């Protein structure tokens, strides 16, 4: 009975930690400032890729 409780508690803690980490990651990536920077970098990378395409 006690072992069951301990295992359940440990599993609960493990899953809760995983869940929190996962939500935190998603929230961070959806932060407006971060998204703006991603967009800016994407534009820069696209421009560089285009430039390289023109070299062929």
7 binds other proteins (CB under 8 A): no
Question: C-beta of 3: minimal distance to other proteins in Å?
Answer: 19
Are residues 51 and 45 in contact, defined by beta-carbon separation less than 8 angstroms? no
- Counting other chains too, the contacts that 40-44 makes at CB distance below 8 Å and 24 or more residues apart are none
Q: Where are the alpha helices (DSSP H) in 1-56?
A: 2-29, 32-54
Q: Which of residues 19-38 bind other proteins (CB under 8 A)?
A: 19-32, 34-35, 37-38
Residue ranges binding other proteins (CB under 8 A):
15-16, 18-32, 34-35, 37-39, 41-42, 44-46, 48-49, 51-53, 55
């Amino acid at each position: 009975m006690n072992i069951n409780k301990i295992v359940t508690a440990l599993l609960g803690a493990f899953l809760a930690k995983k869940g929190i980490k996962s939500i935190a990651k998603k929230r961070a990536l959806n932060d407006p400032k971060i998204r703006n920077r991603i967009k800016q970098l994407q534009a820069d990378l696209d421009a560089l890729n285009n430039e390289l395409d023109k070299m062929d």
